[in-house]
Structure 1
Amino acid sequence: MSLALEDPVSALSGVGEKRQAALRDLGIFTIEDLLTYYPFRYEDLGARRPSETLDGEKVTFKGVVSTPAVVRRFGKRSQTVLGLLIDRENIRVTFFNQPWVAKNIEVGQEVAVYGTYNAAKAALSAIKLVPATTDALDPIYPASKGVKAKTIADLVEQAWGQLRGQMPNLVPQHLRDKYRLLDKNQQIEWAHFPKDSAEAKAGRRSAAFEEFFIFQMRLQLIKQADQAFGGQPLHYDKEAVFTLIDRLPYELTAAQKRVVGEILADQHDGRHMNRLLQGDVGSGKTVVAAIAMYATVTAGCQAALMAPTEILAQQHAKSLAKLFDQAGIDLRVELLTSGLKAGQRRQILADLTNGEIDIVVGTHALVQDDVYFHHLGLAVIDEQHRFGVKQRSKLREGGMNPDILAMTATPIPRTLSITAYGEMEVSVIDELPAGRKQIMTSQLSQRQFDQALALMKAELAKGAQAYVVTPLIEESETLDVQNVTEVYQRLQVALPDYTVGLLHGRLKKDDKDTLMQGFKDNQVQVLVATTVVEVGVDVPNASIMLILDADRFGLAQLHQLRGRVGRGDRQSYTVLVADPKTDYGKERLKALVDTTDGFELAQRDLELRGAGDILGTKQSGMPEFQVGDPVKDLTMLTIAQQEALSLVRESEWDNQVDNQPLVNYLSKTMAQFRHFD
């Protein structure tokens, strides 16, 4: 029976239900998936002489067996030792736990052995025998417990034996010519069965570009579909908007002015806005969003601001009401959360529907089925990566396809903004307001905790407040980290003149809210907490952030925690208490001490960790590329983005003959493509 690319892998010999399930876990469902599942490295099986080989290098030696193979046993373990004559050089070869090798070779036989060379002892720690005629690279595939790399290699060879030459070219001919990319069939051949490293490199280079290009084409199609809804130009009152800006208690930074201009231009020209506003902690994103919402209201529409937590939603509602009140602007701002009483909720829903509310701030409660807007013109989503596509779509349905302004305080390097947020326009606030004091950051060992405590006491004596953050709620037998309950009890004893509060995720919502309000009102001076304080809590009087076992936190998370202080006039401090055991842990804390620039830290984090989970793939929709590396291959990624954008802008691009394989592939796979979900 002949194979087709769309056939399931179970069509191959040797793939039963169990193996099919194991392959499925690797993302291999069809024969086409298998053939585009590329090796991640290659073992060089080309034979060399010992004199040409570096110490510790993996190598293939081809020679004549010069001494009989002797098997030595040590309980269940064994060593098989033999001599191998290579030209005039004699080396000792040892196979570990492969006693059957002795039965397969004899003195005088020519063999090829692959292993690790020890130059000082003229010895090879053998990994395997390879065919004596081989002179190629051995592809090594990402594997799992359920399916071995060798099994994948055998299945690829079996499939390609029947389908060689039948792969459609997804990258159009003009791009293959422009960037010297291989034909798809040659790409498959050289990536899976290279004769030398040059072929392997060329095959992977073409595969990486194809992967980036397909991904960027999908993003551009999402963007087109988004804009196909058709936005409506907002005829906002320019004079009123400028009046609000003039009446602010401070002057906007140059970056804020630039970003406000970008957003207002989007709103005015009638294109549907889908913009990401990113800025470091304390850079002033909220006031930019307030200006955009006010512009929306002056055009006769409503605006909504959706926040990830009730505490943050309450904070936004209060700060917006205060900002407009101080500017002498009469607007109705309301809060819609799940914590409202039934009567209050009914009234707010009714007023939203009849248009009496100008701006509504809420949590996921804004996207419930019983929420209807009179005319929603703008939806602002704070901490954007915490919401999925379906939630954004639900907001969109609440009006005439409202503009979307997403905000995040997680600084995103350009590499990731091209991938994770590629279907959005991006605005960046890359400077902090004038006069804001730098947060002084230091690292202390666990033995120096008393120094951190002394600094905290000194700040408390000045009337300031403090956060103390720790990773766990209760004791753990597996992790030697300080838990929040133990720290809370310790600080109650150490700080008898102050009120110490305990905040963690297992507290009831009402208890959390009461405690946070008490901290805001300075009835609680020291807040011992887990990372629930990471996002959005604004207490200007807090001047010290003490993070225990800081090496247990990610770099972005540490930066977010640091951003909880330094929000008022006081000089503020962050103290990292940790004894990191790994180089990665040490580098992470050093980076945080060295700079308070979130974008610089994000780039450093990217370099330390790679792109895989910098934002958390489940939250951010960050793609996982199999061949391309968006950090190392940023230039290629950028070119792929530009070429995808250029192609979809061509008239009738999807009807051109050369593009048909690409069009067919995209239409087949777009339904499976998930972004931000």
Structure 2
Amino acid sequence: MPSDTDLNKQSPYKEILSPVSSLKGVGKVITRELQKRGVQTVYDLLYILPRSYQDRRKFIPIHKIKSGDAALIKAKIMEIKRLRFRYRPVLEMLVGNEYGIISARWIGAIQHLYRFKKGDNIILYGRFRASPKKMLETYHPEIIKDGNEYEIGRILPVYPEIGGISQRRIRRIMMDAISRFIPNFEDPLPAMIREPRRFLELGAAIKEVHFPSESRLEDLRIRRSPAHRRLIFDEFFMLQLTLALKRSRTSRQRGIRFEIQGIQELYNFLPFKLTGSQASVIHEIITDMSRPFPMNRLLQGDVGCGKTVIALMAAWLAVRNGYQAAFMAPTQLLAEQHYLSTLDLTQKMNLRVALLTSGMSNRANEVRDGVKKGTIDILIGTHALIQESVKFHKLGLVIIDEQHRFGVAQRAILKQKGTRPDVLTMTATPIPRTLGLTLYGDLDISVIDGLPPGRKPIQTKLFHERDRGKVYEILRKEIERGRQAYIVYPLIEESGKMDLKDATNMAEKLRDIFPDFHIALIHGKMPLDQRKGIMEKFKKGLTDILVSTTVIEVGINIINATIMVIENAER
């Protein structure tokens, strides 16, 4: 049998996995900048794809250029002027030919332009606009020098910004990589898959996407060229292959097999009857937990549909089998809400629940000690749950709310605090079925697709600033009916950098506008106990309008709050 070394020598990827520093023109500085972008090898570099393309296939006569066009022109320098603009040097060239004259300007570092003189021929590429002088002008056009003829007569790539490396330098490095490594590159995708779909070979696709020769410019710009189609297919194919392998490994792992006898007792704790959709979802979860393999399920449903109750039912089953559950939420306020809103139900279920967030300096050690000793059944919290100091006695179920708000590594750390625990992730973000299967192919997906009886559908309306009076009138009428309202702002305090309304100042103005209503302010910089008190008053109906920042952005559920005004919603 060949050794690992022999296999490595035989690998079609061996050469293309060479360090990026092996390329011509890539010294220490450029290597460092590329590494900041995650580029370690030639292979990594080739997958930094152009963000756009420039059409330099032919020179455009000046009289045919329209304002807003990007064009390649060849002309003679008619006049050179050295000017100043706001204390900065400016060099202006008037260049022209038999078709007309344009103004080209460079501001700032212009020393490299001093070598040009009146009468010189020059090739420029830039974007042009109409000037007040009734001629076209362009700022900082690119000058194509002698020896750079490869930059004309073709479509050129434009790459993302990489640490100040010029486009010209990146193109030269790419050309070296393609000429040296692509000719011998072996396509990992078999011909039996490629040919029926008319896919380019991978090497040809990489070359074509960087330096197009046959593709239509519009297809390149909208990522619909044959080269892009091949690379897009590969990306989805590798994603699906990775998810399939991950799912296969998970299904072969030995997990916790929870006993579900006496499960009917669980339903007796609920203060309401489950909807058909809720009952179906909890059945799927319980079935998963009864199997000897780790559960890996995503639960999707709108705010207020009952996801938290479903999660608690799963936690009850874990605790009943002698295990603990961890419930991680993305924000401190949401974690606090989960804790406070479930206290009544968890007490009925005889579950010992604790809260752990970064703002709990006083009781944190006591909570961590209880989790380690097993005297706490369910730990609800934020990122604080993944701290090294948090050690579970016997973690059997991990619940992650708004799972897309956490990184892969953060979710993995929490799972590693148990021995192959079951995992239930939740989201209120609607996910189309096909997209869900694509992105979450390693997960089983459950959907609560209906709201509890009597819950009305949400209406969303957009108002212009000039209609602010109408918005306040709607607020007034709703509160006079005994309801409550949120008003959400993008900032806590006024900012000199952004022209946006802030919660602190607007709370004072709103008290003048609505003197008969009780208005409270809440934001993430307040101490935990103060926020708890404010939310508790709002929950009890003692506050009419809660002015907040986006600290309440996900999952906050106060049934009597029937209206939410979001200022600067585009933010």
* CA distance in structure 1 between the partners assigned to 2:151 and 2:44 by the alignment: 31
Q: What SS class does the counterpart of residue 263 from structure 2 fall into?
A: helix
- CA distance in 2: counterparts of 1:467 and 1:542, whole angstroms: 7
Corresponding residue of 1:609: none
Residues in 2 aligned to 1:311 and 1:30: alpha-carbon distance in whole angstroms: 43
2:298 to 276, 298, 302: 276
Change (3 A) 1:536 1:185: closer
Unaligned runs of 5+ in 1: 85-90, 106-110, 554-677
Partner of 1:29: 40
Q: How many residues are treated as equivalent by the alignment?
A: 526
Structure 1 pair 343/168, CA: closer, same or farther in 2 (3 Å)?
A: closer
Instruction: Tell me the residue number matched to 2:211.
Output: 193
Q: Residue 150 of structure 1: CA displacement?
A: 1.5
Q: C-alpha deviations, 1:56-93, integer Å up to 9, x for none?
A: 6656689xx8xx65225373343343335xxxxxx336
- Match of 1:285? 307
Does the CA-based 8 Å contact 1:112-1:131 persist in structure 2? no
Q: Which residue of 1 aligns with 2:108?
A: none
Deviation at 1:147, TM superposition (A): 0.7
After the TM superposition, which residues 548-587 of structure 1 pair with which residues of structure 2 at under 5 Å, given as runs?
Answer: 548-551=567-570, 553=571
Kindly state the Cα deviation for residue 374 of structure 1 after the two structures are TM-superposed: 5.2
Structure 1 residue 8 corresponds to structure 2 residue 42 = no
Residue identity opposite 1:214 in structure 2: M
Q: Displacement, 1:496?
A: 3.6
Deviation string, structure 1 residues 186-237 (Cα, Å, up to 9, x no partner): 2233223332225972223222222333344444444445445422333312
Instruction: Please name the residue that 1:204 is paired with.
Output: 228
Separation of aligned partners in 2, 1:343 and 1:181: 60
Aligned-residue CA RMSD in angstroms?
4.0
For the pair 1:409 / 2:428, whether they are aligned, the reply is: yes
Could you give the per-residue CA deviations for residues 261-288 of structure 1, whole angstroms, max 9, x where no partner exists? Answer: 3323322332321112122222221222
- Residues 385, 414 of structure 2: 8 Å contact kept: yes
Question: Which secondary structure does the structure 1 equivalent of 2:558 belong to?
Answer: coil
Q: Secondary structure at the match of 1:269?
A: coil
Tell me, in whole angstroms, the C-alpha distance in 1 between the residues paired with 2:123 and 2:328.
65
1:103-162: CA deviation from partner (whole Å, max 9, x where unpaired): 554xxxxx987667999x999988666859964322222234611111111112223333
**Distance (whole Å) between structure 2 residues aligned to residue 464 and residue 133 of structure 1:** 66
Q: Is the 2:60–2:71 contact (alpha carbons within 8 Å) kept by the matching residues of 1?
A: no
Aligned equivalents of 1:115 and 1:368: distance in 2?
A: 53
C-alpha distance in 2 between matches for 1:413 and 1:495? 42
CA contact (8 A) 2:15 2:181 kept: yes
C-alpha distance in structure 2 between counterparts of 1:457 and 1:359, whole Å: 41
CA distance in 1, matches of 2:392, 2:151: 74
Does residue 483 of structure 1 match 2:468?
Answer: no
- C-alpha displacement of 1:405: 0.1
Q: Tell me what 2:455 maps to.
A: 436
Which runs of no fewer than 5 residues in structure 2 stay unpaired? 1-13, 84-89, 106-112
State the alpha-carbon separation in 1 of the partners of residues 33 and 123 from structure 2.
33
Query: Structure 2 matches for 1:101-500, cutoff 5 A?
Result: 103-105=119-121, 131=149, 135-144=153-162, 146-197=164-215, 201-237=225-261, 240-242=262-264, 244-245=266-267, 248-309=270-331, 311-323=333-345, 330-337=349-356, 339=360, 341=363, 345=367, 348-349=370-371, 352=374, 358-369=377-388, 371=390, 373=392, 375-413=394-432, 417=436, 421-500=440-519
CA distance in 2, matches of 1:499, 1:95: 63
Cα distance in structure 2, aligned partners of 1:532 and 1:113: 51
Counterpart residue number, 2:95: 81
Higher alpha-carbon deviation: 368-377 or 536-545 = 368-377
Judge conservation of contact 2:346–2:353 (CA < 8 Å) in 1.
no
Distance 2:232 2:164 in 1: 26
**TM-score, with structure 2 as normaliser:** 0.78
In 1, Cα distance between equivalents of 2:97 and 2:236: 49
Calculate the TM-score normalised by the size of structure 1. Answer: 0.67
Contact in 2 for aligned 1:313/1:335 (Cα 8 Å): no
| 1:543–1:37 distance in 2 versus 1, CA, 3 Å | closer
**Pairing partner for 1:17 from 28, 42, 50:** 28
> Relative contact order (alpha carbons < 8 A, sep ≥ 6): 1 or 2 greater?
1
% identical aligned pairs: 35
Deviation at 1:447, TM superposition (A): 4.0
Letter in 2 for 1:92: G
SS in structure 2 of the partner of residue 451 of structure 1: helix
Kept after mapping to 2: 8 A contact 1:241/1:291 = no
Q: Which amino acid aligns with 2:195?
A: D
The amino acid of 1:10's aligned partner reads S
- After superposition, the Cα gap between the structure-2 partners of 1:463 and 1:351, relative to the gap in structure 1 and judged at 3 Å, is farther
SS at match of 1:197: coil
Is the Cα contact below 8 Å between 1:305 and 1:379 reproduced in 2?
Answer: yes
Q: 1:132 to 1:101 in 2, by over 3 A?
A: farther
- Go from structure 1 to structure 2 and tell me whether the alpha carbon gap of 1:456 and 1:383 turns closer, same or farther (over 3 Å shift): same
Deviations 1:445-498 (A, max 9, x none): 434434333333333333332322222222222222222221122233334444
Asked if 2 retains the 8 angstrom alpha-carbon contact of 1:492 and 1:500, the reply is: yes
Q: Which amino acid letter does the alignment assign opposite residue 211 of structure 2?
A: F
Aligned to 2:298, the other structure's residue is in SS state strand
The 10-residue stretch of structure 1 (294-303 or 150-159) with the greater mean CA deviation from structure 2: 294-303
Structure with the higher fraction of residues in helix conformation: 1
Partner of 1:514: 533
SS at match of 2:547: strand
CA distance, structure 2, for counterparts of residue 394 and residue 27 of structure 1: 23
SS at match of 2:421: strand
Tell me, yes or no, if the aligned pair for 1:266 and 1:273 is still in contact at 8 Å. yes
Query: SS where residue 277 of structure 1 aligns?
Result: strand
Aligned pairs for 1:628-639 (under 5 A) are none
**Whole-angstrom distance in 1 between the partners of 2:532 and 2:487:** 18
Judged with a 3 Å threshold, the aligned counterparts in structure 2 of structure 1 residues 536 and 140 are, in CA distance, closer, same or farther, namely: closer
Which digits, 9 at most, give the CA deviation of each residue in 1:271-312, with x for residues without a partner?
A: 321112122222221222233333434555443323344544
- Residue by residue over 1:12-36, the C-alpha shift from the partner in whole angstroms, topping out at 9 and shown as x without a partner, is 3333333223333444332222233
Q: Are the counterparts in 2 of residues 314 and 335 from structure 1 also a CA contact under 8 Å?
A: no
| C-alpha deviation, 1:512, in angstroms | 1.7
CA change 1:184–1:270 in 2 (3 A) is: same
CA distance in 2 between counterparts of 1:348 and 1:234 reads 23
Measured in 2, the distance between the counterparts of 1:402 and 1:548 equals: 42
Matching residue's letter, 1:83: N
Deviation at 1:522, TM superposition (A): 2.9
Give 2:474's aligned amino acid. Answer: L
Measured against aligned partners, the alpha-carbon deviations of 1:410-463 in whole angstroms (never above 9, x if no partner) come to 334557646654543332223322321234443334344343333333333333
Q: Deviations over 1:351-380 (max 9, x none)?
A: 626xxx554444445445565555433221
Distance 2:530 2:516 in 1: 23
How far apart in 2 are the matches of 1:381 and 1:189? 43
Q: Distance between the aligned counterparts of 1:383 and 1:279, measured in 2?
A: 11
1:24 aligns to what SS in structure 2?
helix
> Take 2:462 and 2:234, find their aligned partners in 1: how far apart are those partners?
45
Cα 1:498–1:196 shift into 2, 3 Å? same
